[in-house]
Amino acid sequence: MQPIFTLHDFFTRSGAQVRLYHLGRRLAPCLLDELAAFEAQRQPWSMPWQGQARFACVFTIGDATEPLTWFLSLPLDEQGYLMSAPRDAFIQRLLETLGHSVATLGEESRVDNLMKDNPLAFTPSLPLQAMLHARASHDLNRPTSEHLELVENYLTDAQDTASESQWQALGLQGLADFATHHDADQAHALAKRLPALPKEVLHSLCYCLEHVELDIELIMSLRARGEKAAREADIETFCACVRAIGASQDDSVGNWYGELLDDPAACGPDLLAAIAARGWEHLEDAQRLPRYLERLAEQPSVDFTAMVRDLALIPRLRLPLLMQLRDAATHSPVGQRLANLHR
């Protein structure tokens, strides 16, 4: 048996059936080939979050029927590449637990116990855990949760006013299943229902929808609800709607983000954080990126350096962002922020 040096080695040589998912900026599938290239230092991590590569490993070993799930967070260097020492220590601990033999992989508890007191382990937010369960269950052809039917009825029946007081019975897992599985007809119905949803339901739903691509009607309904919240100074609902459409690639998303960035009064720290966290792809634009940096620099309470450093770890944003910083006028908000760093 060839030696195991990497996570990719472990999964491929053990015969484990594995699916990987990004859990940093967004829930998204991650190919084993991407993990291999990342561990071999051939490419940076594509969805970094706060200086880390966060992902889930959902896998079965031996004759197990139920998959195990590991939540791993690997530290990145300043260019988004793997800092290998913590990963190496985890692999060493893994091999010691297994007695240097993959023959013991059938003993699920031994492998699962690796995550206890593991410095690389992390606990995702509850909405992210629910979305991972929904997505993995879908990919593994497993049934949805028992909560889905109630959620479907509640979110798609615009005439069902009798259920308005029953929203407390909705389960987060049901909302995640709906976000993952809903079809075009259900999206249309939800778009009609959205203006009347209680904020408590809307927030949880938005934190699930932010990981999936939405159709245009639902995007526009979320925008309308978000703008209404902004007029009412309901910042939490406003930012939840901004985040909810971030994974959608329709031009309408970038257009709304652009309009928001053109309005200094709209660009508080919460909005800027929401765009960076879930809608960063819409900053890949010659007008929106410099305007975003300008608004960021104008906020005295924002840690400009930390926010810029986090965005610069995203491979597709790194070069254009660094060029914007290099070309910033001395007396511009960005230029003044940069000057302050050297005082």
On whether residue 96 sits in a domain, the answer given is yes
Are 164 and 272 contained in the same domain?
yes
CA dist list (Å): 285 to 19, 196, 282: 32, 34, 7
| Cα 181 to Cα 341: distance, rounded to the nearest angstrom | 47
Domain finish residue from 63, 86, 115: 115
Structure confidence at residue 182 (pLDDT): 97
Number of domains making up the chain? 2
pTM of the predicted model over 0.85: yes
Are the CB atoms for 177 and 144 separated by under 8 Å? yes
On whether residue 80 sits in a domain, the answer given is yes
Are 263 and 304 contained in the same domain?
yes
Are 104 and 211 contained in the same domain?
no
Q: In what order do the strands lie in the sheet with 68-75?
A: 27-30, 17-23, 52-60, 68-75
Residues whose CB is less than 8 angstroms from the CB of residue 133 and which lie 6 or more positions away in sequence, other chains included: 145, 173, 176
Are 111 and 235 contained in the same domain?
no
On whether residue 1 sits in a domain, the answer given is no
Are 110 and 171 contained in the same domain?
no
On whether residue 12 sits in a domain, the answer given is yes
On whether residue 199 sits in a domain, the answer given is yes
On whether residue 238 sits in a domain, the answer given is yes
Q: 269-278 and 304-312 are packed helices; what angle lies between their axes, rounded to 10 degrees?
A: 10
Are 145 and 254 contained in the same domain?
yes
Domain finish residue from 88, 115, 142: 115
Tens of pLDDT, residue by residue, the chain (343 residues): 578 899 999 999 888 899 999 999 999 999 999 999 999 999 999 999 999 999 999 998 877 788 889 999 999 999 999 999 999 999 998 888 776 545 455 455 556 667 777 889 999 999 999 999 999 999 999 999 999 999 999 999 865 544 555 767 788 999 999 999 999 999 999 999 999 999 999 999 999 999 999 999 999 999 999 999 999 999 999 999 999 999 999 999 999 999 999 998 889 999 999 999 999 999 999 999 999 999 999 999 999 999 999 999 999 999 999 999 999 999 999 999 998 876 6
Are 77 and 194 contained in the same domain?
no
Local structure of residue 129 (DSSP, 8 states): H
Rounded to the nearest 5 degrees, what angle is found at the Cα of 111, between the Cα atoms of 110 and 116? 85
Domain finish residue from 115, 138, 159: 115
Are 47 and 151 contained in the same domain?
no
Are 167 and 256 contained in the same domain?
yes
On whether residue 322 sits in a domain, the answer given is yes
Are 85 and 150 contained in the same domain?
no
Are 101 and 213 contained in the same domain?
no
Are 108 and 157 contained in the same domain?
no
Are the CB atoms for 34 and 11 separated by under 8 Å? no
Structure confidence at residue 341 (pLDDT): 74
Range of the domain at 45: 7-115
On whether residue 257 sits in a domain, the answer given is yes
